[in-house]
Amino acid sequence: MSNSAGAAWRERALRRKLRTSLTAWSRYVLDGLDQTPAAHHLAIMSALEAVADGRTPRLMLLLPPGSAKSTYASELFPAWWMARHPRGAIIAASHTASLAEHFGRKVRRLLTAHGPRLNVILREDLRAAGRFATERGGEYFAIGVRGAVTGRRADLALIDDPIKSFADAASGAARDHLWNWYRSELVTRLKPKAAIVVVMTRWHCDDLAGRLLEQPGWTVLRLPALAEIGDPLGREPGDALWPGWEDRAALLAKRDTLGEPSFAAMYQQAPLPESGTLFDVRKLSLVDTVPTGPAVRGWDLASGTDPSRDPDWTVGVLLACDGEDRFVVDDVRRARVGPEALDDFVRDVARQDGADVQISLPRDPGQASAYQARGLIRALAGYQVRATAETGKKAHRAEGIAAQVAAGNVRLRRAPWNRDFIDELATFPHGRKDDQVDALARAFAVLSPPGEKARFTTVPFLGR
């Protein structure tokens, strides 16, 4: 093969590779800038490739500031997507038109430099930063979230950084405006099989991502700055997302500066809810270690399993005490299991906790509940287990631990269950669910220090 023929063959192979792989395209562009994708960038690109292939019609990328999410999602991806969808139209939206045009300018620059290898050639007569088109019929239109999309149709809606500031995030009117724009302006302009990609940092429980998370059909890639248990990248808990950019020590220092609520929202992508009527969740803090003092697993039992009826959860809350009247919620287990699987679930959790952890079970009035309690105690042979009757209203039973939360004496071990747990506390007693609160109050009643009045009456051991 001659040198010219070999060069032509290599060029064709390169073009095929760039047009079929977002990762290859991104590496090709970044090599020229002396940059290398990190692990989380590879995860972003994999998720975006699924969008381009039609496997993921709705994608949410939730990452902290400084993670280069926009570089991959709003610059490299749109240029490559236009190679995969040569006649497709993109609507790219950001909190202001100027930011959206900034991303558009980056995309246009990439296509000007590398378009021939992607087989995406810009039209000479339509090359504005906020609006350009290709010779094969592709279109790119940039807009601010307050702008009108009338007259446009899109195959891909790309929303990056839709919230301008903390003031906008904290404003209910601003949140409603963004939500109404999304539903009324943007979604109505999408073609039937169009894809939507939302790229953002969380600011508030009720921000755009928070509302979209309540809707079905979304694939979510959430990558906190400090890893949690079950991290999508396989990191150990507490590991930094991009240590080459910002290591764990720098992130912990930033957490100390920002405070837990802001850090949890912007860096962990898990905004804490505002304070509820009983629990002041603003006083909760997260820790990475748990004291070695006494611990109790309090249970609240349910039996429904039909998801269409939104049944209650069977919940076990593990509460530990450090010996100085401070408490740490070490673990929360939830399951929707029927009576036939309840014994196995509770017994498996007890086995993982170990024999040193006390177990507190509820015993409601009635023969069926007494029978259930006897069966569970029999299944938990060898563990420290007691069943107690609950008296008084739920809110009254929760007052003791709520007072400890208000005094700043309650911490949570940093874990994936934190958000659901805090959400329930924040809305108690008016929220949809109270199973975790009941289990927490039960554990606290056993662990409460001298002088605290227990709200449960201990019944004799029911036998095995």
Which pair of structure tokens corresponds to residue 28? 């090709």
pLDDT higher than 90, residue 349:
yes
The Cα–Cα gap between 165 and 66 comes to 16
pLDDT higher than 90, residue 222:
yes
pLDDT of residue 354: 93
pLDDT of residue 365: 57
Question: Across residues 24-51, what is the average pLDDT?
Answer: 95
pLDDT of residue 182: 95
Together in a domain, 215 and 288: no
DSSP string, 336-356: ---HHHHHHHHHHHHHHH-TT
Question: Across residues 419-446, what is the average pLDDT?
Answer: 87
pLDDT higher than 80, residue 1:
no
Lowest mean pLDDT among 218-222, 308-312, 358-362, 426-430: 308-312
Question: Across residues 307-313, what is the average pLDDT?
Answer: 67
pLDDT of residue 144: 93
Residue 446: burial class (beta carbons within 10 Å; 0-12, 13-18, 19+): buried
Together in a domain, 216 and 298: no
pLDDT of residue 464: 23
- Which residue, 183, 200, 223, sits at the end of a domain? 223
The Cα–Cα gap between 197 and 389 comes to 50
- Which residue, 199, 223, 247, sits at the end of a domain? 223
pLDDT higher than 90, residue 68:
yes
Using pLDDT thresholds of 50, 70 and 90, give the confidence band for residue 392.
confident
pLDDT of residue 280: 87
Together in a domain, 177 and 311: no
The Cα–Cα gap between 314 and 335 comes to 5
Q: pLDDT by residue (tens digit) across 71-118?
A: 999 999 999 999 999 999 999 999 999 999 999 999 999 999 999 999
How distant, in Å, are the alpha carbons of 194, 282, 356 from that of 59? 12, 30, 44
Compute the chain's Rg from CA coordinates.
Answer: 27
Position of tokens 């590496």?
27
Together in a domain, 202 and 319: no
Residues forming a β-bridge with 221: 61
In-domain check, residue 275: no
In-domain check, residue 6: no
The Cα–Cα gap between 390 and 400 comes to 14
Together in a domain, 219 and 287: no
In-domain check, residue 111: yes
pLDDT of residue 36: 93
Average pLDDT along the chain: 87
- Check residue 271 and report its DSSP letter: P
The Cα–Cα gap between 238 and 224 comes to 10
Sequence-separated (6 or more) residues with CB below 8 Å from residue 151: none
N-terminal to C-terminal alpha carbon distance within the chain = 83
DSSP string, 104-136: HHHHHHHHHHHHHHHT--EEEEEEETTEEEETT
Using pLDDT thresholds of 50, 70 and 90, give the confidence band for residue 450.
very low
In-domain check, residue 157: yes
Domain CATH number, residue 94: 3.40.50.300
Under a CB-based contact definition with an 8 Å cutoff, are residues 199 and 160 in contact?
Answer: yes
Q: pLDDT by residue (tens digit) across 393-407?
A: 888 889 999 999 988
Together in a domain, 216 and 301: no
Query: What residue numbers bound the domain in which 401 lies?
Result: 281-458
Together in a domain, 339 and 200: no
pLDDT of residue 117: 92
Using pLDDT thresholds of 50, 70 and 90, give the confidence band for residue 453.
very low
Domain CATH number, residue 322: 3.30.420.240
- Check residue 188 and report its DSSP letter: G
pLDDT higher than 80, residue 319:
yes
In-domain check, residue 423: yes
Question: Across residues 172-193, what is the average pLDDT?
Answer: 92
Under a CB-based contact definition with an 8 Å cutoff, are residues 61 and 73 in contact?
Answer: yes
In-domain check, residue 118: yes
The number of domains in the chain is: 2
Together in a domain, 102 and 173: yes
Together in a domain, 195 and 294: no
pLDDT over 90, % of the chain: 56
Which pair of structure tokens corresponds to residue 225? 């700055």
pLDDT of residue 136: 93
Under a CB-based contact definition with an 8 Å cutoff, are residues 155 and 89 in contact?
Answer: yes
Question: Across residues 54-79, what is the average pLDDT?
Answer: 97
More confident residue, 123 or 305: 123
Sequence-separated (6 or more) residues with CB below 8 Å from residue 206: 172, 175
In-domain check, residue 152: yes
Together in a domain, 217 and 294: no
DSSP string, 75-97: IIHHHHHHHHSTT-EEEEEESSH
Lowest mean pLDDT among 50-64, 70-84, 291-305: 291-305
In-domain check, residue 63: yes
- Which residue, 223, 242, 259, sits at the end of a domain? 223
| pTM for this entry | 0.65
pLDDT higher than 70, residue 128:
yes
pLDDT higher than 60, residue 463:
no
